[in-house]
Structure formats: C-alpha cells, structure tokens
Structure 1
C-alpha cells in the first residue's frame, strides 16, 4: 500500500456509478504536484430517536431501509438509544426524511442536514489546511471514466482512513487577481464592456498585468485580443499553481464578470485542477465563486469581519493596514485613461498592478488568521472565509460533539427562532457614562472575554441546567438575576 502526504486544500463529492465519491484536493508534500484523492467508502447517515425501539425498527424496515444500527448517544447530558440509518447516497436523505418523520414510533430525526463532505471531515477527523497522510494507491486517469483532470494532476485512491498529522504547511502560495473594465457608459455591463486589464501578484515575487495595449513596464504582457488575455489568465493560474487565490470583492464583481466575458467570447475557463470552470454557489445572501482545488478567498468579506472602518474600499483598507496610500484612479475615469494612449495609460497600468499587489499584501497578512480558524473549526478555508463567527462556533461544537459521542440538536424551527427573538431581553453589563469633554493621560482597562469566563467559571451549559431538585444548594450555581441553576459537576459540554 502506498503512502502519500498532502496539504488538504479543498473537499467535495461527486456521483460516480450512482454512488457518492468523496474528493480530497491537495498538494503533494514532496513534489508540490496537485493531488485528487478519491474515497468511495463513506456513506451518508442520520439518526432516529425512537418511542419504541423494536416497533420503530420494524417500521423503518417496511420503508425498505435495511442498514440500521442501534447506538447509544449522549443527548444534552442524557444517554439515549438512537437508530442510525445509513443510506446509499446523500440525495436520498431529503427524499426519505419526511417519510421517516411520519412513522408512529419516531419521536425525532437528528443530524439529517449536515452536508456530506462536512460530515466526512468530522467523522474522519481530518482538518483542512493540515498535512494529511493517505494510504492507498496512485491510479490511472482512465480508471474513472468521464472524469477529466489536468495531465499533471496525481489521482489517488484512498484504501484506509486518512490520518491527520496535526501539522500545517510552512508557507502558502497566495496569488491575487484584479480586473479593470472599460466603462464609458458608467456602470460596466459584462455583456458589452470588455476587460481591458487583468493583474496578478504572488507573495513569492510574481507580478503581471495582462492587456491588449503595450506598455514600457516590464510587468505588462501584451496580448492580441481579450480572448487571448482570458486564456493567458487561465494559463498563468495553472502555471503558478497557487494554494489560495485572493481577490477584493471578487465574489460579487471580478469572478462573475470574468465568467460572463468568457461565456460571451466562448473562452474555456478551466481553472479548477479537475479542469472545471468557475461555478457559483449560495453563501448567505451572496454568491461565492468556486474554483475546484484552488481556495478562492474574497478578502472584502474578511475585512468586513475583522475591521471597523468608515469605508471598505481597497484604498481605505490598504491605508489602514500599511499606513501608506496606494495609487488611485477614479473609477469613472478608467475608460478615459485607457483611451488616452499617453502617460495616463501608463498610470492606469501602474494602478492595475498596484491593485493586485495591494490585494496580495492584504491577503498575505490576514489569511493566516483565517487558516488558523479553518484548522480550529475543522472546515474548509473556502467555507470559513464566508462564515459568520456564530456559524464557526456551531461547526466547532459539532466537531466536539462527535468527539464526545454527543448527538447534535436540531436547528430551531422558524417559530422557535421568532419566539427566542421576541423573548425577554437580557440586560447587558453596566456601562458608566463618561463625562463629556476632551481628556488626556487616559488609562484603558477592560475585562477580556467576560462572557466566556463566566460560562467556564459557572459551568453554564445545556446539559448542566437543572431545577435543583435532588441536589444540595452547594452542588449548583445560581444565576442571581433569574434564579437559573447549573450543576457544578460534571463539567458541561460547552465549558
């Protein structure tokens, strides 16, 4: 059996011969080559809390469900018997879920809405951005028919559980990209307004601007047409083979615009290491640009989480982070600079290059934090870069729940959510109103992590919540405001 170590960058699943096939995307730690590792052993599942176990098992079998196991799980501090239902394909889960819910001896169904690839990461205990040890064999690209990949991609069939080494890569190759668009009519229209410059910058010393006009600058590469420029953009990304592609507002502008222009001009954007094109998926209220095997991070979304600014333009963010101004060209004047064929055009080249360099420097500075969050939460960097803090906490708790054999509670229904929103508000900590005026010689004092400290000190957790019956007063903590009680022992799941 062959052993291969990869840095895990991405994960998804595809359907092959009507069965789910997990794909791990990474880079070989020795050669740096791209790797797609396939695992066909993992199956989707969910749990049922039965009213009567034997009757429930019989009712499930009558639905045609045969792969049933009884497992003991911890449900908010209480051990209960659950029936684990293993299915053949993730798409079966929503189809059978409602039928199961209607069975007379089913009290609840649990863990039916965890995405398949995230379930794999949790159950296999492998962490994105870490070095993962794989056991299996390298396979011929012809083994999986109709699955296309680049010639230099290594295909690997996983034959044993992957092992997380808990180590991370020493350095990530970050490549930024930015586009300039001809906009004589105001807001550019991807149907008609061409891309006039495409700039890229790597944190390893690569700088390039692609354009159809010539320049005195060495970093400018001149192409014959917009179509050639788009093809060269794809070539560079494949040649440079970055671990992380960063843009600024690239989910909402750059990538959709590039995709639309490529479609209009019939240019193939096979940017993924599986030769796939850019795809877009819903993340909250926005679309997220997906490039398979290459982690795309929109820095604008991260900056909105990490910083509090009056404006979130690239210029403002760069100035705040590096205490220097970047080159600026007014957006409504870009087409005039392009049409000038003079010093103004050279200034536009400088501006385009500076956009990519500034984006790269911002990415190089803040992505280590996002990578650390990915390693802590155990979810892909692409997803973490688009999660709220609350969502990250939820996925972290799910990871810990699996490790402690706890079953995950269901999401609240819309009615429950509204009831919580409309319930009595909890008064926050006391804030003393300062005297108005200007002061000097100030001392700053703050209690960091106040609420987490209280949660840990008072053992606050759903599984330690009690009405106090059967316990002495010195066996639980009492909240002075509302009288809620939490057991001192055992230690709760949350703390």
Structure 2
C-alpha cells in the first residue's frame, strides 16, 4: 500500500529525544535518537490541484489522433472491469451504485494516502479552508474499483501538561502557540493553525510509572505537516504566562498521518471496510477513474477484522509486466537514447491460477504466439500510448515485476518525456494526475544502504520482486535468470542482451523470439507466487504492507529496546497449550 501522504526524510533534530509511536490509548515517551544509519520521516503534504495537468493540455490530448484511439479502446474494452448493475443493490451487504444511498458499502482496501483539499461543506458544515482528505482505494466483492474520500480526521500529538495549568491557562497557551505558528506559516491559506488543545489523561510507557495516568495536552493542528512545525516550536521553547520560557517533550509527534488514521480507526493492511447506508455521499465531481467514488466521515467507517466472512479476498487484478529496450552496443539502455521496443503483460485475478490476459505490445510486426494477444505498432510512441491505455482499461490493483521500481517504470516515464508524450504518466487512478518518480536511499542496520527509486502510482500498489529477494534471501546473483533457475527451475529464453537490437532489426520471426523472451520476464508473478501467498490471506496482506511501510518510512523495530523499567511476572510450572 502507498501508506502515507508522500513522506519525506527528515534529519534528526538537535534535541536529545525522538518520540516513538504507541497505541491510540497511550501517550508514548520520547525515545533516544535512532542509529545514524536510520532516518526519521515526516509527512509531506500533497496539494491535490498541484498534481493535475492543465485543462487545456488535457483537451488537446483528447482531440489528438481521435480515430486511432477509438480503435485501440475498442480492442482493449474486452478486458475492462465488470460493469455496475442493479443486481448488486439487491444484496444487503453488497456494494451499491453510488447514486443509491440506501445500501451498505463494503469493500477491501489496499491503498491509503491523503491529499490537501477544501473542507467538505456537506459533511462538515462548520469547517472551512484547507484540510487533509484521506483517500482509500479498494475493490468490492464483485470486482468493482472503489475510491473512498474520508473527511474529518485531524492530525494531532501530545505534550505533557505543566502542573497547575487550568482551562484559562490552556486558552492563553493556545493563543500564544497560534501566534507562533502564524509566524512560521505566513504563506498558508489555513484560517486557523491550532484547531484546539484538549486536556486528556494518558499514561507514559517510558520508565516505571506508579500512577495509572497523568495529564497531557492533545494539540490538534490543521494539516499533517504542521505537526513537525509545531513540534519544532515546542522543542525550542515557548513563552508561557506564569512559567516563563518553557520547552516541551512531544509524544507521538512522529506518527505519520495515514498510519495515525489507520491506528485510530482500527484499520489493518488489506482488511474490509464497511460504510452504513445513508452515511456517505456521492462525490459532486469524480476525481478518480474508479467505478465507485464517494465521500464520508471517518467516524462512520466500520473496520472489520480479517475473520469469518471478512477473511476472504476480493478479486484483485494483478498485473505483471516487463519491457525490452534496444540498447547500443557497450552501453546500458538510457531513456534519452534507447527506444522501448516491447512490453509484455500478464493479468491475473486474485484466486485464479492462470492469467486471463496475456499480451505483448511490439514495435514493428511480430509473428503470432499461441495463447498470446500480439499487438504490433509502427512507432514507439504508439507502443507507449497503447500501454498507457491498457493500464487505464484493465485498471490493475497491484503491479508486480522484477526491478520495476528502479528500472521499468522510471524508464517508461523518462522515455515518454523524451518523446514528448505528455499524457503518458497518467497511470494512476486519479484523473489527470501524473506518476511521481524520485530517487530514494534506504538505510538500516538489518539491510544496509540501498539506493532505489520511489514511484508513486496513486491508487495502485507496486510490488518489486527484486527488492523482496534482496531483502529476504541471500543469493549469489539476483538476475532474473538466476532467481528463476533457483526457485522455479526454469529461465527466460536464452536471449543475450547483446543480440536484442539485432533481433528487433530482423523480421517478424526474430521479433517473435524476442517477444517470447519478454513474456518470460513478464511472468515474474511465477517467481513471486510463493512470495505472494499473502494474496490468499488478509493477515498476510498486512504483513506485506507492514514490510513495505518499514522500507518506505524507516524501520522502527527497536521500540522495545527503549522501554526501561518493567514488572517481572512469575508463571506457574507446567505444560500450557495456547
């Protein structure tokens, strides 16, 4: 799952403490700074309007090559998702058409992130200005894609309440902190930075504590990034009437906003979510390509544990793909020079053994391949546009492949940019929103330092099998051939990279040989079948998503090593069965 609003790395502050996350029922204590090989992360607000293409650009793209696109769309339409029908309304616990508010909405979520947009007047009539909007992407039991926009959840953290601070003192403290926040956010459009400050009673888990609870101040801010800003102000110190200049230790101030939402709403990775009838509204204007899109309040969400009827899996669409490039002799392919000559795709429905889509898109003619839909094009630009339309029509929930995050996806994006295909990066589920690619470096004592690329395809989960292999297995070589031979006792067809360009420049038969080779690379799901056992169990989906969170947001598995003071329990002797 993209499990955050777009987190970014933040160097540790000069202070001698770093807060650590805890459950929603406890305020945590500050923890010592992490090792130098690990980095902390904070939220990075993504403003929805800034991710979209201009309307004039979109209109010109729609009008370009209209007839060719119509013909391609007609060919791809056979692979579209099942259409919405009135039959789905007849089932009491089934998904319903968005125009009907009398049915319960139930779907399995797979991706959660957030964007900054305007407050929803219909659901929050007393709110105004910008706010964080949670986006939950998922699939219904019937295979319909879902985009749920969740409103009303606010970012917050805690500080210890100074002794003797009463309601009036809290009000004055609120005003002072609001003034400091205005100084730090002069260009913000938010009408009020500190939404409210509440007196709560929690218990710190740092050191041995005699008292069951103690007073804390819960500080609720307007936007997720303001948590870090406010924390910095309190770390450095703030003037308080009667107390002078005072600095504060913050609690739970490094819990990422999307994760905080999941914790507070009891949502786990890949579980089913229900929204009661009458508790959601059809969006006024669809912002996604999903079949079902609606708005609701976070307080109306019902999160189901993966048990009983909610232990089943929705029919997720899993796309496995591979690309081939015509490189120059002695040079590794570069998107600024070397064309994409073939793209192989296999799409499987979760729970089925065989893919229901097997196709390959080739530059120039290609001889037929048994059981494969061969789509040939005259220009590279047509190949890339056809793949982009294929993604839009098939609408995969999960995209897997071998080294796709570091090579295939970034290469396609950069190559399209070189060719001037402005609309190609719109591969996600948000209308007119481009895929974002940036260089990343992940460091930990367990995995060492690893350079890669972070590819954000909104609404879809990317699973790179190469990264999973490097993380979980010690192999002498991580090439696709070596891994295939080790785990599957098979390899891609023996096509050395040095003859790829010669095969492309040959005839339809030589390009057929290259296509078979590309299809073997596209069948990376075969390598990952045993890795993807999580796909048959929601609990294992959560394990996978948590492993992704660990790599994306930094591993914090050492939390328990910072818990000091404990009470030893003496257990009676004997053999006990769980």
Q: Judge same fold: TM > 0.5, yes or no.
A: yes
Match in the other structure for 2:547? 384
Identify if the C-alpha distance between structure 1 residues 266 and 138 changes in structure 2 by more than 3 Å, giving closer, same or farther.
farther
Superposed, 1:22-421 pairs within 5 Å as: 22-30=134-142, 32-52=143-163, 54=165, 57=170, 58-64=172-178, 65=194, 67-76=196-205, 78=209, 79-101=213-235, 102-103=237-238, 104-135=245-276, 136-142=279-285, 148-150=287-289, 153-159=291-297, 160-166=299-305, 167-168=310-311, 169=313, 171-185=315-329, 186-203=331-348, 204-218=355-369, 219=372, 220-267=374-421, 268-269=423-424, 270-275=426-431, 276-281=433-438, 282=440, 284=442, 285-341=451-507, 343-357=509-523, 359-369=524-534, 375=539, 381=545, 384-385=547-548, 387-388=550-551, 394=557
1:351 is paired with a residue of what secondary structure?
helix
The structure showing larger relative contact order (alpha-carbon pairs under 8 Å, at least 6 residues apart) is 2
5+ unaligned residues in a row in structure 2: which ranges? 1-100, 119-129, 179-193, 239-244, 349-354, 443-450, 572-578
Identify if the C-alpha distance between structure 1 residues 307 and 66 changes in structure 2 by more than 3 Å, giving closer, same or farther.
closer
2:478 is paired with a residue of what secondary structure?
coil
1:129 is paired with a residue of what secondary structure?
coil
Identify if the C-alpha distance between structure 1 residues 386 and 73 changes in structure 2 by more than 3 Å, giving closer, same or farther.
closer
**1:14 equivalenced with 2:179 (yes/no):** no
Identify if the C-alpha distance between structure 1 residues 384 and 250 changes in structure 2 by more than 3 Å, giving closer, same or farther.
same
5+ unaligned residues in a row in structure 1: which ranges? 398-408, 410-459, 467-485, 491-495
State the superposition RMSD in angstroms: 2.9
Larger deviation: 322-331 or 204-213? 322-331
> Deviations along 1:36-74, whole A, 9 cap, x unmatched?
111111000011123435187343442224611122222
Identify if the C-alpha distance between structure 1 residues 378 and 365 changes in structure 2 by more than 3 Å, giving closer, same or farther.
closer
- In structure 1, what is the Cα distance between the partners aligned to 2:104 and 2:231? 39
Identify if the C-alpha distance between structure 1 residues 148 and 171 changes in structure 2 by more than 3 Å, giving closer, same or farther.
closer
2:383 is paired with a residue of what secondary structure?
helix
**8 Å Cα contact 2:135-2:150 kept in structure 1:** yes
- In structure 1, what is the Cα distance between the partners aligned to 2:231 and 2:461? 33
**8 Å Cα contact 1:51-1:106 kept in structure 2:** no
The offset of 1:319, in angstroms, is: 1.3
> Deviations along 1:341-396, whole A, 9 cap, x unmatched?
26443321110111112x12123331234886x84795883x733635995664xx
Identify if the C-alpha distance between structure 1 residues 66 and 194 changes in structure 2 by more than 3 Å, giving closer, same or farther.
closer
- In structure 1, what is the Cα distance between the partners aligned to 2:115 and 2:553? 29
> Deviations along 1:228-270, whole A, 9 cap, x unmatched?
1111112222322222110211111101100011122232132
The offset of 1:189, in angstroms, is: 1.4
TM-score of the superposed pair, with normalisation by structure 1: 0.73
**8 Å Cα contact 2:367-2:509 kept in structure 1:** no
1:258 is paired with a residue of what secondary structure?
helix
Identify if the C-alpha distance between structure 1 residues 278 and 265 changes in structure 2 by more than 3 Å, giving closer, same or farther.
same
Larger deviation: 35-44 or 283-292? 283-292
**How many aligned positions are there?**
399
The offset of 1:338, in angstroms, is: 1.4
- In structure 2, what is the Cα distance between the partners aligned to 1:462 and 1:212? 57
2:550 is paired with a residue of what secondary structure?
coil
**8 Å Cα contact 1:210-1:221 kept in structure 2:** yes
**8 Å Cα contact 1:283-1:386 kept in structure 2:** no
Identify if the C-alpha distance between structure 1 residues 200 and 11 changes in structure 2 by more than 3 Å, giving closer, same or farther.
same
- In structure 1, what is the Cα distance between the partners aligned to 2:342 and 2:260? 41
**8 Å Cα contact 1:238-1:271 kept in structure 2:** yes
> Deviations along 1:185-214, whole A, 9 cap, x unmatched?
421110121100011112333211101221
Match in the other structure for 2:126? none
2:202 is paired with a residue of what secondary structure?
strand
Larger deviation: 67-76 or 363-372? 363-372
- In structure 2, what is the Cα distance between the partners aligned to 1:224 and 1:137? 48
Identify if the C-alpha distance between structure 1 residues 462 and 211 changes in structure 2 by more than 3 Å, giving closer, same or farther.
closer
- In structure 2, what is the Cα distance between the partners aligned to 1:141 and 1:363? 41
- In structure 1, what is the Cα distance between the partners aligned to 2:550 and 2:498? 33
**8 Å Cα contact 1:464-1:487 kept in structure 2:** no
**8 Å Cα contact 1:279-1:289 kept in structure 2:** yes
